[in-house]
A and B are shown apart, each in its own frame.
Chain A
Amino acid sequence: MAGVGFELRKLFQARTMTGHVKAYSYSAIITAGPFALMTGMVLAVQMLFSYYEIGEEAGQIFVGAVVYAFVFSQVLSSGFTMVLTRYLADCLSVHHYEDVTASFFGLGSILTVLGAAVSLAFFWDKPLDFVTKCLSYLFFALLLLAWAESVYLSAVKKFKGLLLSYLTGVLLAIFLSWAFLHWQLLPAEQCGLLAVDVGMTLVVLLFLLHIVDYFGLSPEGQNFAFLPYLERHWRLFLISFGYMLGIFLPNIIIWQGPWSTVAGGTFRFAPVYDVVTFFAFISVLPLMMLFVVSVETAFYERYNVYFTHITKRGNFREIDDARKDLLHTLWFEIRHIVEFQLVSTLVFLVLGNYILSNAGITYAQVNMYNVILFGAFFTGLLQLIYILMVYFDYQKDVLRISACFCLSNLVLGLLGLWFLGPDSYGFTFFLAGLLSFAFGFWRLSHFSQRINYFVFCSQPMFYQPVQGPLTKLALWLYGEKYVELELLGGERK
């Protein structure tokens, strides 16, 4: 998040208590803000449903459509947005701005079409009303666009504007949902969906305004010039896709088991498990918040010094001193984050036990929550490891870690579903998280021990950009006008 660091470093420079509080709050708002607002929106609409005494089925269909859209839009878009981040970083580093906004339209259209294909396949044989299906797809597509936009917004550095956009959209959605339900314009679930669609459309449009305002709108812009990045950085794509899929796989697998209910004959859930995982994942928000701060401030500074010595004719002693400093900071920050997160997890453990027990959840399910809480803890740490290693562009090992996480969740999840039954729920996720974290930690330690070797020798002897079908497509589309960013930014390669 290029822009975050800029703001955070400014806040930390003050070196005052208020500065620090401000910085951490800032990070908290950026990390958790959109999530809280979106969750708030869904909860508010649900409350309106109950206020107007809407039937359970309609409420379930609404929640189903929204949750499915959240889950699958993240899984579907994560690979693309990760690669787009790289494209955008290259555009910015070589000051090539004319294709930036254009690339959003390109990616947006790809995601919308892919989303339509996925939705068509999913809704094909489902008994839902056609309008409901369309509204569900619309929300799904809008989320895909919003995730794509957030990549650009991290470079725009207007986080206030970003949050305000979310807030406006969410408030509009809540208001419309009240209005539609009040006047009963449509079936209840469609009222809710239409309201959130309009709210989300507003968010997407406001984001777009921010992007266009910052990067401009070049009529000459090449919408699909980023496509070659998908084949050059296919590992990054799979890393992000694998990690995101790994996070949701346990839920998707358990939806197929005995705890599942089906809303509107379409959306499968395991409500108890889903709610418990939701709370467990909230517990790792502090980790993300702290991580953003430490990566963007202390870690980034050392990282920068290290690579500056490498690229700007430093001798080995300078490089190695910078390396030691970098690694010291890396491990110090990781320890700091882990300790902080451990405390947070313990707090959630106590609170969860108390609240869930009183909310009528069984003892076994509370136990499951405790286990999932630690699963989430390791999953959060795993993400921390993988982001750090992506920073060093050590993609091969990160892909292994990501594959380990995704596959262990798949295999252990299915084993639990088929052979062990509900007793294993949550535990398989915890095991997969622990296993992948251990593997990731081992790879990170190994990497940090040999960081000089990995940084120097990972550079190929001759840089040859991949010339696969997507590059050929870009060349066919734009011919001579296609700009090879990686050749412009010679120093980085």
Chain B
Amino acid sequence: MRICLLVEGSYPYVVGGVSSWVQMLMAGMPEHEFFLYSIGAEEKDRGCFKYKFPPNVVGIQEEFLDEILGLKSHGMEENVLTPEECRVLYDLVVGQKPIDIKELASIFRGGRRFNGMLGIFMTSDFFDVIQRVYEEKYSYLPFTEFFWTLRSMLLPLFYLLQQELPEADVYHSVATGYCGVIGALASEVYHKPFLITEHGIYSREREAEIIKSDWAKGDFKSVWIQYFYNLAKLSYTSAHRVYTLFEHNAEVEMDLGCDPAKIGVVPNGIRLERFKDIPEVEDHDGPFRIGAVVRVVPIKDVVTLLRAFFLVKQEMTDAELYVMGNVEESPEYYDLCMQTVEMLQMEDVHFTGSVQVTEYLPRMDLMVLSSISEGQPLAVLEGQAAHRPFVTTDVGCCRELIYGASDDKLGTAGAVVAPMDFEDMSREILRLARNYPLRREMARIGYERVCRMYTYDIFIESYKQIYKEAGEAGARWQG
């Protein structure tokens, strides 16, 4: 079976989260062929792959959004779209009604209808739709800016919708943005099933990004945010199944308009054998070692961890903190951490840089994760596989990993505190540090949980099953 994986802004140009997931997925299924459809930002990345493709990768289609800047606008055209198609455009921009990808496909896939790739932006129909949307929804904004915002907003999408679509038996997108819409479109054009695996919630992430951005100003931020929610909605509507890593995300997806019947949870998995030689936590004399496997970047909120450790240190003078992870990614943030250490005059804080975690984990008595945003953190899964109890912040799926999902009765594998609450974090650390039997029990529960639900084998088996079902469904539709 040939599976087309659609990725956006990640694999194979960026190392980390989604990219390693893609690599793991493909490597685990030698029996299937994979074709990559990858959307990148800059043309200069073409061919600069950060991963070595597994042998079952049969090809890659790279689309870069900055290529659009070189396109030429040809002449203006009037009355190219039917009233029905204008309505689809309107619905796409307004986003109040679910759009059928079939209708969108009819605009862009019906042969060379427009004068070049940018043709649609020069049509009277496009202008009329924009004017209508403006008059009905945004009449308080300056019109010229609104017009140009919508032009540039729809540009990447309309450009991608007009590109070649690879043929495959199953389309599998890892986000609900542009690659979600393209997957939906390809699935519609070739009558094959379309799956989504959403790691973070794409539209929420874009929302956070836009709110912080400088390029979108004032009220136009809401126009952009709405647009990404519309894309997500379109992807959800078109998808046959939507998978996510943990239950909380599934709830968010439902809130965003995804049919609950389509949603499934498939957690990430780790290779247990890497951690099989690591012994359980012991009750020992000497310093109490706290570990954190995190890159030293703002989103991991290492400063909160340092503050918590400062409070711990007041009570347990022999405690040590090991921050295990790259310190070069954000030198300013690393400097800030060093200043905090100096200011609080703390000793026994070690920034190890990138290390082999399997060598360090055996020496740790307790693990901490202080992030302010996470999906399903691999660091927690690995720590649990190494029989270590955890104190984490309440982000991403940490709560599920510590307390268990709704159908998990194993018990508690550590403690969860509110993000940035360093006092609570220090209290929990001390509570666990002072109670060896509790720590040991929590470590056991964590290990058990990983074995039951979060192994690489379970992850691969789940996707094998998912692809099998999708393949069968595809065959039925063809028949």
Contact = CB atoms under 8 A, between A and B. Distances in A.
B71 A456 contact: no
Nearest to B72: A464
A444 to B, nearest CB: 15
Contact of B144 (A311, A458, A460, A464): A311
Contacts of B135: 316
B124 A453 contact: yes
Interface in B73-126: 73, 75-76, 78, 118, 121-124, 126
Interface in B307-331: none
A314 B127 CA distance: 17
B142 A461 contact: no
A452 B131 contact: yes
Interface in A428-463: 450, 452-454, 456-458, 460-462
B144 A313 contact: yes
A319 interface: yes
Contacts of A493: none
A390 interface: no
Contacts of A311: 144
B143 A457 contact: no
Contacts of B134: 316
Contacts of A316: 131, 134-135, 139, 143
A310 B145 CA distance: 9
A460 B72 contact: yes
Nearest to B117: A461
Given A457-B122, A457-B127, A315 B71 contact: no
B477 interface: no
A450 B118 CA distance: 20
A453 B78 CA distance: 10
B139 A462 contact: no
A396 interface: yes
B215 interface: no
A302 to B, nearest CB: 18
A278 B128 CA distance: 48
B147 interface: yes
A461 B155 CA distance: 9
B124 A450 contact: yes
B160 to A, nearest CB: 15
A15 interface: no
B143 A319 contact: yes
Interface in A284-328: 310-311, 313-317, 319
B144 A450 contact: no
A456 B147 contact: yes
B336 interface: no
Given A457-B121, A461-B73, A461-B151, A315 B140 contact: yes
B69 interface: yes
B299 interface: no
Q: Is the interface of A mostly helix, strand, loop or mixed?
A: helix
A458 B121 CA distance: 10
B77 to A, nearest CB: 9
A396 B75 contact: yes
A311 B72 CA distance: 23
Contacts of A452: 127, 131
B140 A457 contact: no
Given A315-B139, A452-B127, A461 B145 contact: no
Given A316-B143, A450-B124, A462-B71, A457 B131 contact: no
Contacts of B75: 396
A314 B143 CA distance: 6
Contacts of A460: 72-73, 118
Contacts of B126: 457
Contacts of B71: 461-462
B141 interface: yes
A116 B76 CA distance: 40
B76 A454 contact: yes
A462 B143 contact: no
Given A315-B143, A319-B143, A457 B72 contact: no
A462 B142 contact: no
Contact of A313 (B118, B128, B142): B142
A419 B72 CA distance: 47
Interface string A377-418: 000000000000000000010000000000000000000000
Interface string B206-225: 00000000000000000000
A313 B145 contact: yes
Given A311-B144, A315-B142, A316-B143, A461 B131 contact: no
A456 B142 contact: no
B141 A458 contact: no
A316 B122 CA distance: 19
B73 to A, nearest CB: 4
B186 to A, nearest CB: 25
Contacts of A313: 142, 144-145
Interface in B3-37: none
B73 A456 contact: no
Given A450-B78, A461-B118, A317 B139 contact: yes
B142 A457 contact: no
A461 B127 contact: no
B140 to A, nearest CB: 7
A460 B115 CA distance: 12
Given A316-B134, A317-B139, A457 B76 contact: yes
Contacts of A310: 143-144
Contact of B142 (A314, A396, A450, A458): A314
7 contacts: A314-B143, A316-B143, A457-B76, A460-B118, A461-B118, A461-B151, A462-B73
Given A314-B144, A316-B134, A452-B127, 5 more contacts: A315-B140, A316-B131, A453-B76, A457-B124, A461-B71
Interface of B: 69, 71-73, 75-76, 78, 118, 121-124, 126-128, 131, 134-135, 139-145, 147, 151, 155
